[in-house]
Amino acid sequence: MSTTTQDLPTAPETRTAYLVLGALSLCHMLNDTIQSLLPALYPVLQANYALSFTQIGLLHFAFQGTASVLQPAVGFATDRRPRFRLLALGMGLSLAGLVTLAFAHAYGVLLLAAVSIGLGSAIFHPDASRLARLASGGRYGTAQSFFQVGGNAGSAIGPLLAAFVVLPFGQSSVAWFSVLALLGMIVLWKVGSWARARHRERVAARVAPARNPLLPRRRILVIIGILALLVFSKYVYVVSLTSFYTFYLIETFGVSVRESQLLLFVFLGAVALGTFVGGPIGDRIGRKAVIWVSILGVLPFTLALPHANLLWTAILTFVIGVVIASAFSAILVYAQQLVPNRIGLISGLFFGFAFGIAGIGAAALGILADWKGIAFVYRLCAWLPLIGLLTVFLPPDNALKSR
């Protein structure tokens, strides 16, 4: 008697592979620590190379744009045929970019370093996100938050390393952190071995492929468009802080470069905290509710920020970081539920779009800052969370579950 797809066993989702999730989160931290060194170094690079805000924005775009273009392609390829050593290769490209950044002698070489780090990110994020879902045991939001918080922690560490290592010892000291990339390559090689063993188990057990989408194709495209606009609002606002917050603090309050880096760390640490709690909350109350709160709920704080003194600026950016941080994990898991048979592609699309829009946003905000000033940038960006009103058009979470 022939065996239909319905007769095949589904993948076991009762156990969460916390060791694998921990390894992926650790490597996400290492990867994003390397990434975050670039924007954390912008004040140093501006002084060393006499860069304008426009050049800084274009440098950020070189990194973000490279990652944006390639991530969907990587996700599509790994959905069709998993590549179990690809993650280690991506970390190697980040290592090459780090060394290039340390010994760059001209603006063009800085751009090359940014592109190399972007290539590493393009490989790492979609494939690692796919493996995080595979290791989730059905706790998709928790797994994505666990994975994402590593990246947020790495982003927060970067400014500290810049403040306490790179500033005192110079740009070449960035090469010291190549040991982080080497560690990541070793760990990701082990994760690749686990993924290959899991893949063989699924093939041997003849596990059924993921189910097809429940909603019509046209409606799925509309929903993905709405989710993309929500990602736009989050990432353009966040990049306004990660790229230009230190300059805003120095210009508005007269703080030192080191003090500005520490205040940036406060914001990035808040982002890590919000990411950590957002996923489990989404598993309990639903992804749509988290999206509502994390995007639209941050509006009062963003509107108040341009009018605050130094103390309240630190407090408000901490609150903004915690609230807005859970948005991306919730949006990503929601989109994965929309198209459950294309996890890598969806991950690549959303990571790629997030990187791309952040890169374009950094370039555009850099030009705007040169033209109208940093303070104007924050007054304008304060209104971005209003886009969160589009959440009303998203179907409820239970509409995406198997019937």
Give per-residue pLDDT as tens, 45-103: 888 888 887 888 788 778 877 877 788 888 888 877 777 888 999 999 999 998 998 88
DSSP state of 179: H
Which residues, 6+ apart, have CB-to-CB distance to 300 below 8 Å? none
Q: Is the CB of residue 41 less than 8 Å from the CB of residue 166? A: yes
Q: How far apart are CA 9 and CA 202, in angstroms?
A: 9
* Token representation of residue 13: 């989702």
Q: How far apart are CA 8 and CA 1, in angstroms?
A: 13
Structure confidence at residue 283 (pLDDT): 75
Of 332, 325, 328, the residue nearest 273 (C-alpha): 325
- 206: pLDDT strictly greater than 70: no
Say which residue, 166 or 26, is predicted with more confidence: 26
* Token representation of residue 26: 């650790």
Give the pLDDT band (50/70/90) at residue 7: very low
Give the pLDDT band (50/70/90) at residue 384: very high
Structure confidence at residue 212 (pLDDT): 60
Give the pLDDT band (50/70/90) at residue 375: confident
Structure confidence at residue 317 (pLDDT): 93
CB atoms within 10 A of CB 222: 14
Give the pLDDT band (50/70/90) at residue 205: low
Give the pLDDT band (50/70/90) at residue 6: very low
* Token representation of residue 190: 């082990």
H/E element, 253:
helix 217-253
Q: Is the CB of residue 82 less than 8 Å from the CB of residue 199? A: yes
- Residue ranges in 254-342 assigned as alpha helix (H): 257-285, 287-295, 299-304, 310-338
Of 234, 370, 244, 358, the residue nearest 306 (C-alpha): 244
For 58, the 3-state DSSP assignment is helix
- 215: pLDDT strictly greater than 80: no
Q: Is the CB of residue 269 less than 8 Å from the CB of residue 156? A: yes
Q: How far apart are CA 401 and CA 288, in angstroms?
A: 13
- 268: pLDDT strictly greater than 60: yes
Instruction: Please report, for the chain, how many H helices and E strands are present, in that order.
Output: 15, 0
Q: pTM value?
A: 0.73
Amino acid at 102: A
Q: How far apart are CA 20 and CA 18, in angstroms?
A: 5
Q: Is the CB of residue 255 less than 8 Å from the CB of residue 263? A: yes
* Token representation of residue 336: 């994965």
Question: Token match 């590493």: residue?
Answer: 120
Q: How far apart are CA 140 and CA 163, in angstroms?
A: 36
